[in-house]
């Protein structure tokens, strides 16, 4: 991981991992859709991930969201092992 997440990035990550769209994140946080997208882009770079699935996995590892046992089993072992360690 190249850098720590800001408080706002943690908020955006939590909402994105919960399945919200850029527009829904923007509305919830009182920011523009473009700003929400930019935050998520920065999160991807800092966390070394490339998509929302990776973001969701990072959010689980950081304890921002909770995965049910069924969801945790559905993540292939190769993905769990390939993900970089998360520093809170």
Could you tell me the fold of the domain covering 7-82?
Arc Repressor Mutant, subunit A (1.10.10)
Tell me the mean pLDDT per 10 residues along the chain, length 88: 81 94 97 97 93 91 79 52 49
Question: What local confidence, expressed as pLDDT, does residue 67 receive?
Answer: 76
- How many C-beta atoms lie closer than 10 Å to residue 59's C-beta? 24
Q: Would you state the pLDDT for residue 73?
A: 52
Domain spans, the chain: 7-82
Overall pTM > 0.85: no
Q: Look at residue 88 in the predicted model and tell me its pLDDT.
A: 45
3-state class percentages of the chain: helix first, strand second, coil last, to nearest 5: 65, 0, 35
């Amino acid at each position: 991981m190249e850098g720590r997440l800001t408080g706002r990035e943690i908020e955006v990550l939590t909402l994105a991992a919960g399945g919200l769209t850029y527009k829904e994140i923007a509305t919830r946080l009182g920011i523009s859709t473009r700003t929400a997208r930019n935050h998520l882009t920065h999160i991807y770079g800092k966390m070394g991930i490339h998509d929302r699935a990776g973001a969701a996995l990072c959010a689980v590892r950081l304890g921002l969201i909770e995965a049910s046992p069924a969801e945790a089993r559905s993540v292939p072992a190769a993905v769990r092992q390939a993900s970089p360690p998360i520093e809170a």
